[in-house]
Amino acid sequence: MPQAPHREFAYRKVYRYIEALIDQSPPGQRQRLPSLRGLASRLRVSLGTVQHAYNLLEEAGRVQRRPRSGYFVHSASSSEVAIVPRQPPVFEPSLFELNLHNHERRLARQRLRAVGWGQDPGSVRLRQALAERYTLSSSRYWCAKDVHVAPDLTALLDTVWAALELRHATVLVHSPCCWQLLQALARTGVPVLEVPVDTRGVLNLYALTCLLESEPVGLVVLPSCLSTPQGRLMSSAGQQQLGHLLSRYRVWVLESDLDSELCHAGPPVIRQRDWVDVRQLLVVGGFEAVLGPEAPYAYVLGPTGALARGFGERAFRLPPLRMQALACMLDKGEVDAQWAWLRQALQRRTRTLARVLALRFGPQLQLRLPDGGGLIWARLRQPVHWESISKALAGTSLHAMPGKHFSLQSRFQHHLALGWTGDDPVELQIAVDRLARIAGHP
């Protein structure tokens, strides 16, 4: 029996276990894999840990998820898998993952000594911490009962759609749209229409109005303050216009707060939610961007009994110690410290990457330095030959995603989202030279 490395994270162990099951499956057959609950019980880990391992394998093209059927071995060849990237570059904050585990160990020791500790689930404390974090004033406040937590973003959105009866309603998103949010929406199976934004990240209000008037729109998805992948900071005036327009329609407004803390100059005081009627507002956030894959959990804030009933029916089994550890990190300011560290690192890397790209490509590559995030949204004059680019950048710290992955309608064929996860400018220059040669700029 193979032994796992001593300090390997739980999701990595589950990942390797599922990989072993895949390797043992008969070739050419789509064999069904164990369920989330079955693996969680067998391996003695949380549902969220198993879900994250499956998500990574799905993104790698090794498994296929079928709604209400489970996970199956994907029959694609390894060469096909290698050239189809399904996720943006990951900046793993390993130091803060260790802090998370330290809090868990401390809480476990306290649990052994406490009397009646189990009467206070960890999710209660986390929901209280999140409600306090989002409360701004006596007129715009949240309570723990308004906060709901799920194992990951897909499970969260799937529960929200069912609770609010949005299965057959149309969802509007800005285009290009945040990759993580767009993929989660696609997995829920709801109809999605895209509203274009310009190079400044400003939404086309005329196009939005036309869709609101002509389509059975049930929900509009908007960024909190940072338009991703362009990395453009939205203006307060533009947010106010959007809020005023949406107040005239009976639609839910879902604000994506997944990456708003990544604004390089720090998050602005005013967000989109400040211009939206709280009675039609949902705010979605998560921990994975800041704490890494050991915290894939997502949450939603919304003042509606329907959400409470929906999440009550799903009854997600979330690890109580992990929930309490996350609450501790929020209360102690450790999450904010990690956001600050990540902002500085991403700003430094995007500036370096933008400078190297501009010097190598000149006017052949259109790009703007982002206001936030870790991606450069670049446009080439010719359509992107993705397979060649993927092979050229394999093994380097320069990561690329085709622009069409930021649209469900395969738009942005000339665009690339580029991110640098390294620290060696020489290695970056070599990778950019490879990219330039493949793109026809010897």
**If you write DSSP's letter for every residue of 9-21 in order, what string do you get?**
-HHHHHHHHHHHH
Give the model confidence (pLDDT) of 303-359 as tens digits.
878 899 999 888 888 888 889 999 999 999 999 999 999 999 999 999 999 999 999
CATH of 10-82, one of 2.60.40.10, 1.10.8.60, 1.20.1290.10, 1.10.10.10: 1.10.10.10
Q: How buried is residue 308: exposed, middle or buried, by Cβ count under 10 Å (0-12/13-18/19+)? A: middle
Q: What pLDDT does 177 receive?
A: 92
Q: What pLDDT does 305 receive?
A: 86
Contact predicate 433/442, CB 8 Å: no
Nearest CA to 197 among 228, 167, 170?
Answer: 228
SS3 call for 253: strand
| Structure tokens given for 414 | 């000339």
| Structure tokens given for 369 | 């330095």
CATH architecture of 98-335: 3-Layer(aba) Sandwich (3.40)
- Could you tell me how far CA 35 lies from the centroid of its own chain? 23
Please tell me the number of Cα atoms within 13 Å of 92 on its side-chain side: 6
Beta strand extents in 207-356 (DSSP E only): 217-223, 226-227, 232-233, 252-256, 281-286, 298-301
Q: For the chain, what percent of residues have pLDDT higher than 70?
A: 86
Pairing of strands 376-380, 298-301: unpaired
DSSP label at residue 442: -
Q: What pLDDT does 336 receive?
A: 92
Q: Is the peptide bond before 176 cis (omega within 30 degrees of 0)?
A: yes
For 174, phi then psi, to 5°, come to: -75, 150
- Could you tell me how far CA 11 lies from the centroid of its own chain? 17
Q: What pLDDT does 386 receive?
A: 82
Q: How many degrees, rounded to 5, is the angle at CA 242 between CA 208 and CA 140?
A: 140
Return all residues near 301 (Cβ < 8 A) that are at least 6 apart: 130, 131, 134, 142, 146, 147, 148, 282, 283
Low-confidence ranges of the chain (pLDDT < 50): 1-7, 77-87, 112, 114-120
Cα-based torsion angle of the residue sequence 339, 345, 350, 355 in order, rounded to the nearest 10 degrees: 150
Contact predicate 280/307, CB 8 Å: no
DSSP label at residue 263: B
**CA–CA separation, 237 and 431 (whole Å):** 40
| Structure tokens given for 256 | 């994506």
Nearest CA to 378 among 422, 420, 427?
Answer: 420
Where do the CATH 3.40.640.10 domains begin and end in the chain? 98-335
Where do the CATH 1.10.10.10 domains begin and end in the chain? 10-82
CATH of 345-438, one of 3.90.1150.10, 1.10.10.60, 3.40.640.10, 2.40.110.10: 3.90.1150.10
Give one DSSP letter per residue of 395-436, joined into a string.
TSSEEEEEGGGG-TT---TTEEEEEE--S-HHHHHHHHHHHH
**CA–CA separation, 442 and 439 (whole Å):** 8
CA distances to 87, 158, 336 from 324, in Å: 29, 25, 17
Q: What pLDDT does 112 receive?
A: 43
pTM of the model: 0.76
Q: What pLDDT does 9 receive?
A: 64
CA distances to 21, 258, 306, 387, 401 from 85, in Å: 23, 21, 37, 10, 7
